Structure 1
Amino acid sequence: MEQHQSLITWYVLFAITQATSLVLILIDDNTLADRLSAAGLLCLNGVWFLLYGRKLVKRGVDDWRGLVYAAGSLATFAPAVWFSGNATFALFGLVPQVYMVLSVARAFVPMVLFVFTPQILTWLAGTVPALPWPAALLIIGFSQAFGWAIGRMSDQSRQRAELLDQIEALTIEAERARWAGEIHDTLAQGFTSIITLLQGAQPDVELALRTARENLREARALVASNAPSPLDGSSLEDALRRLVSGVSLPSTFRVIGDPVPLATSVEVVLLRTAQEALANVARHSDASRVDVVMRFDEDGTSLEVRDDGRGFGEAPEGFGLRGMRARLEQVGGTLSLSSDEGASVLVEVPL
């Protein structure tokens, strides 16, 4: 987008210089035939840019095609100056074009030819050049510096475009990871709970139905990009209590200390951590019970999920635990694991 806007600015400059040159040619005191010839050639020069030069400027190429464009542009510019010296004004648009289709080194010779063409033609015609020779040399030096500046701006614009592409790719990747984590933490865990309940032939089918309804609301919340549905209209403690009550194992939930308001991001992390930990208990621990304790103190908030199962063992951390750590890092929290008489997942978030 930035490069497109920059090119539009250059196109406007080229159009203005061409239009001004045409006006100066038409008000010249030469014969009508000379004025029309010069104007026609300058119009042909503009058509050459639209049909060929504009593509090179847009692509930023630097090869023989730039030399072809410069030669064609000079072939229409030079006779236009022969018929009317006022066509020299077109140099303000033509010289930048040369530097936009060629590197600074390659553009030097074509640029010098463009600048010296009016001087040479007026000298051959036996008239005084409209531009003094010292001024022509000054224009050459200025044009070379101008070309260097164009090259630097072009390189910087290209680097910014590449950086924006990289940022966009990283953003897309991060969004994919976020959605993967959300789905893993909500839908996958909820459906695992349903399967566990049904496989155990638990008589209380209402528990499975409630879990299914919770995950349906969660799916809708994900699509709408809202806060996690278990928190909608309730406190974090209530949401955790409902979550623990939906576990197929005997379970307890306690709150120690005086609850304090937490940021929504912290509440989401604590809730997701509890979901992941309870899902791991149901799938992997072979535990007979699970206890969840939430503590509030002066230093911060902690949440511990402890079971009496077989512990973590030597298995590497899976996607769920890595997702926990990633979420906790976003709110400055830490995750601690232990396998002392079962398994314990302890999450601590400072206030």
Structure 2
Amino acid sequence: MEQRRQLITWYVLFAITQVTALVLVLIDNSTLADRLSAAGLLCLNGVWFVLYGRRLVVRGDDDWRGFVYAAGSLVTFAPAVWFSGNATFALFGLVPQIYMVLPLGWAFVPTVVFVLTPQVLTWLAGNEPSLPWAAALLIIGFSQAFGWAITRIVQQNQQRGELLERIEALTIEAERARWSADIHDTLAQGFTSIITLLQGAQPNVELALQTARENLREARALVASNAPSPLDGSTLEDALRRLISGVALPSTFRVIGDVVPLTTSAEVVLLRTVQEALNNVVRHSGATRVDVVMRFDEDGVSLEVRDDGRGFGDAPEGFGLRGMRARLEQVGGTLSLSSDEGASVLVEVPL
């Protein structure tokens, strides 16, 4: 989702530079034929990006195909500058594109060619370049430095993402190991004692019941110690508000009806279910906003997560939705999905 936002930002920048260059060309004081020729070439340059360059940007293919795109862009850019010097403004969009489709070291040569093209063509036409040669060289140096900085930021973000994934995996493994150790040291040992006692005579039955009760308390303690951290010391309503406020989309949260205390297991299931639903909205729906409503009535509590995205379509339910259903079944709840003007996930748990 974040990558999509970044790409949209770049697309807007490219569109602005292209439209600005077109306007500057059309208001140039050259002949009408020259202005129309330059404008047409700039339009072809934009079409070339949409049909070919955009795929390279989205995929992140930093290979020889970037040179193909650079060559195609130069074929339309250079004659546009020959017909109208104002077409030079398109460089503000073309240079970043070069660094997005080629590795940093490879992008230097095409950048030099693009930046110096207006200078060379103006000189060949017998005119004095509007941009001093020293300034052109400064632009080349700045472009390379900017490209290096952006590349480093991208690499650091990728490394940070890989580190977070590794930390998450290690955390899960550590949690599993802790659970295994706790169960072995408490429940397993206790149940072993129960079996041993029951295999004896009748007088040991009372002692077996006592041991079973102690292990039941141990099991409840283990479950309580692993309750979701957002619920620690707060109500379900407060935990949901914090969860929803952290979503990177405009969002609202409403509570309808009189709040009724719920069991810890029901609160945990509701919180985790809403968390998974919000995660799906952010990652898959393409929505611009999300609304969550918690409703209490005589029969139980319901939570609806609704967004204005593309809906569920015909895609089969993934692991996340299946996991939500499995959690709800543990507390007798149900899950309903609808795709009417967006997507809606309705969770209902009886009191």
**TM-score scaled to structure 2, two decimals?**
0.54
Q: Distance in 2 between matches of 1:146 and 1:8?
A: 20
- 1:71 and 2:62 are equivalent in the alignment: no
Q: Distance in 1 between matches of 2:198 and 2:154?
A: 64
Aligned-residue offset at 1:33: 5.0
Q: Distance in 2 between matches of 1:180 and 1:211?
A: 20
- In structure 2, relative to structure 1, the CA distance for the partners of 1:226 and 1:140 (3 Å cut) is closer
Aligned-residue offset at 1:174: 1.8
Counterpart in the other structure of 2:149: 149
In structure 1, give the amino acid aligned to 2:76: T
Q: Distance in 2 between matches of 1:211 and 1:31?
A: 98
Counterpart in the other structure of 1:197: 197
For 1:141-290, list aligned pairs within 5 A.
Answer: 141-216=141-216, 218-219=218-219, 222-223=222-223, 225-226=225-226
Q: Distance in 2 between matches of 1:31 and 1:142?
A: 34
Counterpart in the other structure of 1:28: 28
For 1:46-125, list aligned pairs within 5 A.
Answer: 46-125=46-125
Aligned-residue offset at 1:182: 3.3
In structure 2, give the amino acid aligned to 1:22: L
Q: Which runs of 5+ in 2 are unaligned?
A: 228-351
Counterpart in the other structure of 1:131: 131
Aligned-residue offset at 1:225: 4.8
In structure 2, give the amino acid aligned to 1:158: Q
- In structure 2, relative to structure 1, the CA distance for the partners of 1:184 and 1:68 (3 Å cut) is farther
Q: Distance in 1 between matches of 2:219 and 2:50?
A: 53
- In structure 2, relative to structure 1, the CA distance for the partners of 1:172 and 1:27 (3 Å cut) is farther
Counterpart in the other structure of 1:286: none
Pair member with larger Rg? 1
Aligned-residue offset at 1:164: 2.3
Contact 2:198–2:204 at 8 Å: present in 1 too? Answer: no
Q: Deviations over 1:209-246 (max 9, x none)?
A: 4544554555455456558xxxxxxxxxxxxxxxxxxx
Contact 1:100–1:150 at 8 Å: present in 2 too? Answer: no
- In structure 2, relative to structure 1, the CA distance for the partners of 1:196 and 1:120 (3 Å cut) is same
In structure 2, give the amino acid aligned to 1:162: E
Q: Distance in 2 between matches of 1:5 and 1:183?
A: 45
Contact 1:62–1:102 at 8 Å: present in 2 too? Answer: yes
Q: Distance in 2 between matches of 1:158 and 1:80?
A: 38
Q: Distance in 1 between matches of 2:70 and 2:195?
A: 73
- In structure 2, relative to structure 1, the CA distance for the partners of 1:196 and 1:61 (3 Å cut) is same
Contact 1:81–1:88 at 8 Å: present in 2 too? Answer: yes
* Partner secondary structure for residue 203 of structure 2: coil
Q: Distance in 2 between matches of 1:152 and 1:216?
A: 54
Q: Deviations over 1:76-103 (max 9, x none)?
A: 2223323332221111121122123223
- In structure 2, relative to structure 1, the CA distance for the partners of 1:184 and 1:113 (3 Å cut) is same
Q: Distance in 2 between matches of 1:212 and 1:50?
A: 69
The CA RMSD over aligned residues, in Å, is 3.2
- In structure 2, relative to structure 1, the CA distance for the partners of 1:76 and 1:193 (3 Å cut) is farther
* Partner secondary structure for residue 129 of structure 1: coil
Q: Which runs of 5+ in 1 are unaligned?
A: 228-351
Moved over 6 A (4+): none
Q: Deviations over 1:306-341 (max 9, x none)?
A: xxxxxxxxxxxxxxxxxxxxxxxxxxxxxxxxxxxx
Q: Distance in 1 between matches of 2:215 and 2:67?
A: 66
Aligned-residue offset at 1:115: 0.8
In structure 1, give the amino acid aligned to 2:113: L
Q: Distance in 1 between matches of 2:161 and 2:60?
A: 14
Counterpart in the other structure of 1:38: 38
- In structure 2, relative to structure 1, the CA distance for the partners of 1:191 and 1:119 (3 Å cut) is same
Q: Deviations over 1:287-315 (max 9, x none)?
A: xxxxxxxxxxxxxxxxxxxxxxxxxxxxx
